[in-house]
Amino acid sequence: MIAATDCGNMTEIIKPLIVGVVGAYTLRMFRSPRPKPDLPWHSVDDLQACLDLPRQVRRQLQRSMIDKWQADIMTITTDDGITIIGPHLMAQGIIRAAVKMGCSTPKFEDEYVKLGIVAMRTLTGVLSSEMQYRFLLAAYEGQGDRS
């Protein structure tokens, strides 16, 4: 498991925006902990399970991602226990690295994106169409912004 930053109150139970199957396993997506518009975050632990990567590949991915994402990942408490969540860009990086290494397929990324679209609709469903568009544009443009 990747070491993660402290999220403060670990007694608060965080509910996922959506739970769906990606690959052969369940992936939970969450509301971003950032105060600004952001794309849904994913459970890092779930994503690694969904990718069903060999242990050596998981370790290699963890080592390569930890330096880049240490400041962005967060440990949260859910009904299912403790998990680490990370931003959309991190998931894309992990998935694309797995595809590049021949351990996954572009179809897997398509499944992840489809679940992300449903999560975004859940997140913005109460907004007008125009406000949904503005939220999505702000979230997309703010990717990688750590504030």
68-105 confidence digits (pLDDT tens) = 777 888 999 999 999 989 999 999 988 998 899 888 99
Nearest CA to 33 among 84, 80, 109, 93? 84
Query: Given this model, what pLDDT does residue 4 score?
Result: 44
pLDDT of residue 101: 85
pLDDT at 61: 74
- Nearest one of 55, 87, 72 to 5, comparing CA atoms: 72
Over residues 97-120, mean pLDDT? 92
pLDDT of residue 82: 94
Tell which residue, 90, 17, 95, has the closest CA to residue 50. 95
CA distance 112 to 20: 9
Confidence of residue 9 (pLDDT cuts 50, 70, 90): low
Kindly report the pTM of this predicted structure. 0.84
Q: What is the pLDDT of residue 5?
A: 45
Q: Identify the pLDDT of residue 13.
A: 93
147 pLDDT band, cuts 50/70/90, is low
Q: How much is the pLDDT for 1? A: 38
* Tens-digit pLDDT profile for residues 16-65: 999 999 998 999 999 999 999 999 999 998 999 999 988 888 787 777 76
Six-digit token string for 140 = 């997309």
> Burial letters for 61-95: b for 16+ Cβ neighbours within 10 Å, e otherwise?
beeebeeebeebbbbbeeeeeebbbbbbebbbbbb
- Of residues 2 and 27, the one with the higher pLDDT is 27
Percent of the chain with pLDDT strictly greater than 70: 88
